[in-house]
């Protein structure tokens, strides 16, 4: 595999960032070589829904290792819901809480971008990875 060079990529970020009409930050790394590039890499940005996919990946890894089952149920309580005003079909459909399977939580989190589902995935995975996220993050 030929090396992927990131040379010039920062300049491309600088050219297209103004079109976003907002604050832009990007970071990329070639894992094989460790080569990296960033644009506004020292700034902090809210994660928004970006965190949902890595949580789902951790859950699926645990399913692969047979530590979790897709048909295993997880109790979602009112305290697990994202804040009012944030998008959450689970909270809206089950305002008093509900038990959902891991498979259902994955679908809500990834397909419907439901932050309450990600909280439920964390309960089912019980990983340090998830416990590092602030409460109500979506």
Q: Confirm whether 49 is a catalytic residue.
A: yes
Q: Residue 22: helix, strand or coil by DSSP?
A: coil
Distance CA 55, CA 71 (A): 18
Q: Looking at the DSSP assignment, which residues form a beta bridge with residue 73?
A: 101
Distance CA 69, CA 116 (A): 19
Which of the residues 49, 113, 116, 118 is marked catalytic? Answer: 49
The full length of the chain comes to 138
CA distances from 80 to 6, 22, 98, 115, 119 (A): 41, 31, 11, 9, 6
CA distances from 59 to 19, 66, 122, 137 (A): 36, 10, 8, 18
User: What residues act catalytically?
Assistant: 49
């Amino acid at each position: 595999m030929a090396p992927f060079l990131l040379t010039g990529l920062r300049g491309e970020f600088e050219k297209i960032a103004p079109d976003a009409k907002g604050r832009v930050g990007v970071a990329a790394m070639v894992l094989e070589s460790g080569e990296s590039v960033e644009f506004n890499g020292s700034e902090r940005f809210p994660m928004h829904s970006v965190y949902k996919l890595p949580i789902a990946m951790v859950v699926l890894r645990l399913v692969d290792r047979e530590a979790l089952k897709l048909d295993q149920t997880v109790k979602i309580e009112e305290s697990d819901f994202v804040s009012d005003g944030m998008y959450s079909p689970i909270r809206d459909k089950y305002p008093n809480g509900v038990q959902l399977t891991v498979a259902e939580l994955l679908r809500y989190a990834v397909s419907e971008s439901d932050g309450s589902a990600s909280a439920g995935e964390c309960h089912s995975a019980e990983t340090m990875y998830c416990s590092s996220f602030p409460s109500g993050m979506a």
